[in-house]
Amino acid sequence: MKPGERLVSLDAFRGATIAAMLLVNNPGSWSDIYPPLEHAPWHGWTFTDMIFPAFLWIVGVAMTLAFARRVEGGADRGALFRHVTMRAAIIFALGLFLAAFPFGLLPAHHFSLATVRIPGVLQRIAVCYLAASAIFLRTSWRGQLGWVLGLLAGYWALLKMVPVPGYGPGILEPTGNLAWWIDSHVLAGHTWSGAPAPGFDPEGILSTLPAIASTLLGALAGHLLRRPEAGSAKAARLGTLGLGLLLVGFVLSRWLPINKNLWTSSYAVFMAGWATVFCAGFYWLIDVRGWRRWAVPLEIYGLNAIVMFVLAGLVGRLLVLIKWSDAHGPAVTLKGWIYQGLFVPLASPVNASLLFALAFVIAHFVIAWAMWRRKWFVKI
Question: What are the extents of the domains in the chain?
Answer: 39-290
Mean pLDDT calculated for residue range 88-104: 95
pLDDT in tens, 279-303: 999 999 999 999 999 999 999 999 9
Sign of CA dihedral 29, 173, 258, 140: positive
Percent over 70 (pLDDT), the chain: 98
**Closest Cα to residue 60, out of 268, 300, 284?**
268
Segment 333-340 long-range contacts (CB within 8 Å, at least 24 positions apart): 335/28, 339/28, 339/29
Q: Is the pLDDT assigned to residue 4 strictly greater than 60?
A: no
Q: Which of 5-9, 64-68, 139-143, 347-351 has the lowest mean pLDDT?
A: 5-9
Which letter does DSSP use for residue 44 in this model? B
Query: What is the reported pLDDT for 105?
Result: 85
Residues 254, 199: contact at Cβ < 8 Å?
A: no
Tell how strand 332-333 and strand 323-324 pair up: antiparallel
d(CA 310, CA 150): 33
pLDDT in tens, 329-361: 778 899 999 999 999 999 999 999 999 999 999
pTM of the model: 0.94
Query: What is the reported pLDDT for 284?
Result: 96
d(CA 145, CA 168): 32
Query: Does residue 322 sit in helix, strand or coil?
Result: coil
Percent over 90 (pLDDT), the chain: 87
Residues 84, 373: contact at Cβ < 8 Å?
A: no
pLDDT in tens, 64-88: 999 988 888 888 899 999 999 999 9
d(CA 54, CA 88): 18
**Closest Cα to residue 87, out of 367, 299, 376, 306?**
306
pLDDT in tens, 223-232: 999 998 898 9
Supply the Cα-derived Rg of the chain in whole angstroms: 21
d(CA 317, CA 8): 32
Query: Does residue 324 sit in helix, strand or coil?
Result: strand
pLDDT in tens, 231-279: 899 999 999 999 999 999 999 999 999 999 999 999 999 999 999 999 9
Q: Is 42 exposed, middle or buried (0-12, 13-18, 19+ CB in 10 A)?
A: middle
Query: What is the reported pLDDT for 211?
Result: 98
Query: What is the reported pLDDT for 257?
Result: 97
| Mean pLDDT for the chain overall | 94
Mean pLDDT calculated for residue range 101-109: 87
Q: Is the pLDDT assigned to residue 1 strictly greater than 60?
A: no
Distances (CA, A) of 9 to 12, 63, 66, 197: 5, 15, 15, 38
Phi, psi of 313 (to 5 degrees): -65, -40
Query: What is the reported pLDDT for 300?
Result: 96
Which are the contacts of 239, defined by CB distance < 8 A and separation ≥ 6?
A: 276, 277, 280, 281, 284
pLDDT in tens, 150-208: 999 999 999 999 999 999 999 999 999 999 999 999 999 999 989 999 999 999 999 99
Ramachandran region, residue 4 (left: φ > 0; alpha: ψ -120 to 50; beta: rest): left
Q: Is the pLDDT assigned to residue 5 strictly greater than 80?
A: no
d(CA 166, CA 163): 8
**Closest Cα to residue 272, out of 283, 255, 258?**
258
